Structure 1
Amino acid sequence: MKEKSDQAGERQEFERFRQKLTELAESGYQESVTGELYGIAKRWSERGDGGLLLRSVEWAEAHVRPSDPRHWNQVNHVLDRLDLYAVQLAAESDALAWVVRLLTERRGADSAFPRNAALYDLPYFMAVIADNRPSDELHRLLDRAAGNERVPFEASALLLCEMAVRGKADESHAAVRRIREKLQEAGHPLSRLPLRVTMLERDLPLRLYGPDGSGGHSTPFGPIRRAGKTDREAARGLAERTAIMPAAFRSIHTAEEAERMEAAVRNWRERSNGRSEAAVFEFADRFEPEHVTPGLLLRLGLASLHGAAPETVLLRPLPADRMFVFLYGAAANGGAYSSGGHNAYGRLDAWRSAMALAGVPDDADIPSAIERIEGCHWSYFEAPTPWFRQVAWDVGIVALRPDGRTLAVLAATDTD
């Protein structure tokens, strides 16, 4: 009797979900309707009913057609929530294969409700899984994926990288060793990333994911209007310091080097409304860290500082690990409209930028790169110029390299 009662309740709930989703498609956003849909999906998730979640997505793709183009996004948001709940419920014996199947067979480009592939892609779902499952279960996922031809190797590599930044990767585990060896044999870009966070990565702004995909991350960027009184007083003090100008200087970076320096903020520029500039200058004379002043930066002719007065330039020393936080936040978490590369390719892009700014060859190993990075004198800058958008994504980084004659600059800004 109880089983029949449960089945009847499930049918009623599914019918209610269909009615409300149809209402949303026809009438557009209504808080009560959307709230009820999310509530039903959450109850299914709490009961562990992944099949019903998937069935609802299939039904929507086949039967729901919004009457107004403006309503399509509302339905898509509900289906995104169903996807996320279903991924969380996927059994560890088949979780990675299930995600791959979800991405390839449901809500593809030909679907009535195509998934936003720029946001909800394989790296995103691997991050969600890594954040919400314990270490021992994640290692079993990697074990089972190794013998499953439905799971591409890239999925396992991404999951391992997500585990690594969360301190969940056991380097002695057989599956971890196999993935690591395969990455190295293939010369895969991710093979360069260590399986433990380094000293520069102690305070990474990791994105957190709730069961429904909610959560967030800290944003370390500007704008300058958020600067406190101490920062502003320090900026005025630096501006009043007599700037030692180089007798001669020249720009020495190549287009390839500028591209490497901008790797961390590339997603701002390419997938959002951002812009960036990167340059390397060589001075005729050696400069000391105290010689890096607003006056010196203004002399370099940077587009980001065009029109700024020395006293308006916020410039302060930047510890190397804090510098890495800025790069990592931009690369892994994205900008105004871009989601970043998460903790695999985002982490890799942060390292590429840091190494390029420090003058480290792109093929150097990370331990030797850290030594060179820590040997640089780092500074942070920004200014209330038209170039900086002054919304929430402004950053300027200066690296005076160990030789004292070479200075690298990266500036970036984005807006919604």
Structure 2
Amino acid sequence: MNDSDDDFSRFAWHTAEQRAAQGDSRQVADLAVELTHRIEAAAEQTRDHEHQLAHLVRVLAITPGHDSLTQLLRLFTRSQGPGVGLAPRFVASLLAEHREAADLVGPLSERDPKGRLDELRICLLHELILRGVDVDAFPKTIDWTRVKYGDHPLVWLPRRRSPLETRVVFPSRAINSSAHPGGSVLPKEGRLDPPTPRTQERSALVDTATLDLHQMIVSAPEAGGWGHSEAWVFRADEEVEPDRVPALLPTLPMGCVEGLGATSRFEIARRPADEIWSLLFATASIGIGHDGAHGAFGRLWAWKSLAALSDAPADASAEEVEHHVQQTTWFHFESDAEWFCNEIFADYGIAALSPDRRRIAVLAATATD
């Protein structure tokens, strides 16, 4: 059909019902088919434009110098909304990787009455914090958390890097290439593998995770696009000593250990809280099969998963969560249960014994569906 867009729209809105009532439904259907073709073509063109835009933005973000940064910010301030189509999380990550904080703070703090730099600013703030920058040395960054578009989830995070956040891994990116570090393998240190054959008697403990709690525990792998993740929470009537946890986990009613034989591989290690944070941060920020949530939101979702695993109160501040996490006993495990795909860097399980030793929370993540 060679109808102009105006003729096409005029028919679709003002003539279709009349033609159908007159028994000419075929022309209505033909135009509907034409419209689907136009939509598909427009979507393909949009994807091409988005890919081209992403490359141009990457060039500007990575190219050294004041001019490239100025032109990059011009894109944001002239866009139709706060970073529309410009992937502020990704741009903030690139800027923090390739430029000094002192070179960024001034230009990013320029007047922006429409708030189009808000998302870029607040993401960049946390990218810099993760890289050890003392943002309090740059007073202008105080305004970066005062977003125009209402409360922002990143405001919950602290303006300092916690001792839990010292094992940070970042991708290494150039204009036309990227290198992503691998995941975390089970260490030889702190191993507590239960002896085999293990008991096949199932524990009487029952999963008590609510939907909200489940979603919070798995927030890090969900943000990272992992293939599948699950969470379970068990409460005991009496205290569970940490040395009982390795033997107890394979007996719990969890899909991630279902079908595990008495002698099948089940390996577990006790790990410090900062290593668990690092594992969750890499899970969320780098992701599997795509770019993940990047540093700022990777930081947020690592903390949220930690908070839920450690039984921190739902309304706890970041500082309160940090204290709770430090009081929790952490375990990292792997197994040959069918739930896991058993590929290196593509599976893990985390178990958390709460400070009162009456609650065991488990997160299992795998790269496959």
TM (norm. structure 1) is 0.67
Residues 266 and 335 in structure 2, CA contact (< 8 A), matched pair in contact too = yes
Aligned pair 1:88/2:62, yes or no?
yes
Q: 1:368 aligns with which of 312, 320, 323?
A: 320
Q: Distance in 1 between matches of 2:78 and 2:350?
A: 41
Identity of aligned residues (%): 25
Shift of 1:147: 3.7
Aligned ranges for residues 40-79 of structure 1 at < 5 Å? none
User: Are 1:318 and 2:294 counterparts?
Assistant: no
Match in the other structure for 1:394? 347
Structure 2 portions without partners, runs of 5+: 1-43
Structure 2 Cα separation of the partners of residues 369 and 150 of structure 1: 31
Residue by residue, what CA displacement relative to the aligned partner does 1:353-381 show, whole Å, maximum 9, x if unpaired?
Answer: 00000001232111121111111111011
User: What is the aligned counterpart of 2:142 among 156, 177, 202?
Assistant: 177
How far off its partner does 1:351 sit? 0.5
Is this contact kept in 1: 2:202–2:251, CA < 8 A?
no
Pair 258,176 (structure 1): closer, same or farther in 2 beyond 3 Å: same
Q: Which residue of 1 aligns with 2:124?
A: 159
In structure 1, the residue corresponding to 2:160 is in which secondary structure?
A: coil
Kindly state the Cα deviation for residue 390 of structure 1 after the two structures are TM-superposed.
2.2
CA gap of 1:184–1:366, structure 2 versus 1, over 3 A, is farther
**1:380 counterpart = 2:332:** yes
Distance 1:158 1:318 in 2: 29
Match of 1:334 in 2: 287
How far did residue 197 of structure 1 move? 1.3
The alpha carbon displacement at 1:74 in A equals: 10
Cα-to-partner distance string for 1:52-74 (whole Å, 9 max, x where unaligned): xxxxxxxxxxxxxxxxxx9x999
Aligned match of 2:156: 192
1:221 is the counterpart of 2:184: yes
- For residues 212 and 47 of structure 2, what CA distance do their matches in structure 1 show? 39
Q: Deviations over 1:212-236 (max 9, x none)?
A: 16343422235xxxx68x58x956x
TM-score after normalising by structure 2: 0.75
Alignment pair present for 1:256 and 2:220: no
CA distance in 2, matches of 1:143, 1:77: 28
The SS at the match of 2:158 is coil
Opposite residue 322 of structure 2, the aligned amino acid is I
Residue 276 of structure 1, CA deviation? 0.9
Match in the other structure for 1:40: none
The 1-side partners of 2:262 and 2:79 are apart by 52
Alignment CA distance shift 1:290-1:363 (3 Å) = same
TM-superposed deviation, 1:394: 0.8
- Structure 2 vs 1, CA of residues 92 and 86 (structure 1 numbering), >3 Å: closer, same or farther? closer
Report the Cα distance in structure 2 between the residues aligned to 1:363 and 1:332, rounded to whole angstroms.
24
- 1:227-266 equivalences under 5 Å are 234=191, 238-240=194-196, 248-266=204-222
8 Å contact 2:92–2:124 — kept in the other structure?
A: yes
Q: Does residue 278 of the first structure (1) align with residue 231 of the second (2)? A: yes
Q: 1:103 to 1:410 in 2, by over 3 A?
A: farther
CA contact (8 A) 1:304 1:411 kept: yes
Distance 1:353 1:398 in 2: 12
Q: CA-atom RMSD, angstroms? A: 3.5
Aligned length: 319
Residue of structure 1 aligned with 2:98, choices 107, 127, 132: 132
- Distance across 2 between alignment mates of 1:308 and 1:249: 18
Q: Distance in 1 between matches of 2:127 and 2:71?
A: 15
* Pairing 1:398-409 to 2, within 5 Å after superposition: 398-409=351-362
Pick closer, same or farther for the CA change 1:365–1:96 going to 2, 3 Å. farther
Deviation for aligned residue 1:208: 2.8
CA contact (8 A) 1:221 1:394 kept: no
Assess, with a 3 A threshold, how the Cα gap between structure 1 residues 104 and 75 changes in structure 2: closer, same or farther: closer
Change in CA separation of 1:79 and 1:344 when aligned onto 2, cut-off 3 Å: closer
Q: CA deviation at 1:277?
A: 0.9
Change (3 A) 1:94 1:76: closer
Partner of 1:289: 242
Equivalent-residue separation in structure 2 for 1:94 and 1:344 (angstroms): 22
Name the amino acid aligned to 2:359: T
Secondary structure (helix, strand or coil) at the match of 1:151 reads coil
**Does the 8 A contact of 2:273 with 2:325 survive in 1?**
yes
Alignment pair present for 1:206 and 2:170: yes
SS of the residue 1:370 aligns to: helix
Structure having the higher helix fraction is 1
The aligned residue for residue 98 of structure 1 is 74
Distance of 1:93 and 1:207 partners within structure 2: 21
Contiguous gaps of at least 5 residues in structure 1: 1-69, 109-116
1:343 aligns with 2:295: yes
Q: Distance in 1 between matches of 2:280 and 2:62?
A: 30
CA distance in 2, matches of 1:403, 1:248: 20
Check the 8 A contact 1:87/1:95 in 2, yes or no.
no
Q: In structure 1, what residue type is equivalent to 2:243? A: E
